């Protein structure tokens, strides 16, 4: 029978104070998972530490992005901040937003057309009066002379709203009352 012996071990010393464990900040609370290691005659249990810090990407802070973007006008900033107050599953109209902002529906539509943060800043939640889809991504529902129109973009707008829970009638108008609770 062959006997296995481990090589002699020497204590490990850290090359510099910077490399010592005392230099590193404390680790966050962790969970442990036991691991079983089997040798010829002994079973030992060790622990593997799992960090509780999430590495999943965090959603952008749109309020900060809006405030710090140099290419956005003060009026567009007001429009985008107002969009952030519309809850998911709700919609409003260009007219209601323009009344709140003391502006015109066309000015609101022009600001929405330039929205660089869509769909995070949800311009798709703004509909025309009568709850019809209106425009989306700078295009309207009829085809333009060059054959490129807003049909595909309106399908996209309707699908975004549908995913959020907005229902539509057989003529494509959103069902329900437009959101008016602007802050």
Beta bridge partners of 33: 48
Taking the C-alpha atoms of residue 81 and residue 75, their distance in angstroms, rounded to an integer, is 10
Taking the C-alpha atoms of residue 34 and residue 46, their distance in angstroms, rounded to an integer, is 6
Please, are residues 64 and 58 in contact by the beta-carbon 8 Å criterion?
A: no
Neighbours of 123 (CB within 10 A): 25
Taking the C-alpha atoms of residue 74 and residue 81, their distance in angstroms, rounded to an integer, is 11
**DSSP letter (8 states) at residue 14:** -
Active site residue 123: yes
Q: Which of 86, 97, 123, 174 is catalytic?
A: 123
Taken in order 138, 101, 70, 87, the sign of the CA dihedral is negative
DSSP secondary structure letters along 6-70: PPP------SSGGGSGGGSPPPPPEEEEEEEEE-SS-EEEEEEEEE----SPPPP-HHHHHHH-T
Q: Which residues are catalytic?
A: 123
């Amino acid at each position: 029978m062959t006997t296995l012996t481990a090589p002699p071990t020497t204590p490990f010393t850290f090359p510099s104070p910077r490399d010592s464990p005392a230099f590193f900040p404390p680790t966050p609370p962790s969970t442990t998972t036991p691991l079983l290691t089997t040798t010829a005659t002994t079973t030992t249990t060790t622990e593997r530490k799992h960090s509780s810090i999430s590495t999943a990407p965090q959603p952008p802070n749109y309020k900060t992005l809006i405030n710090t973007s140099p290419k956005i006008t003060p009026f567009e900033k007001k429009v985008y901040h107002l969009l952030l107050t519309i809850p998911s599953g709700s919609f409003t109209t260009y007219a209601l937003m323009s009344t709140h902002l003391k502006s015109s529906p066309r000015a609101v539509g022009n600001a929405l057309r330039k929205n660089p943060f869509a769909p995070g800043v949800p311009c798709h939640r703004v509909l025309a009066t009568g709850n019809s889809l209106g425009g989306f991504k700078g295009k309207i529902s009829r085809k333009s002379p060059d054959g490129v129109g807003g049909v595909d973009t309106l399908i996209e707008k309707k699908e975004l709203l549908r995913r959020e829970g907005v229902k539509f009638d057989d003529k494509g108008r959103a069902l329900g009352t437009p959101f008016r609770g602007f802050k």
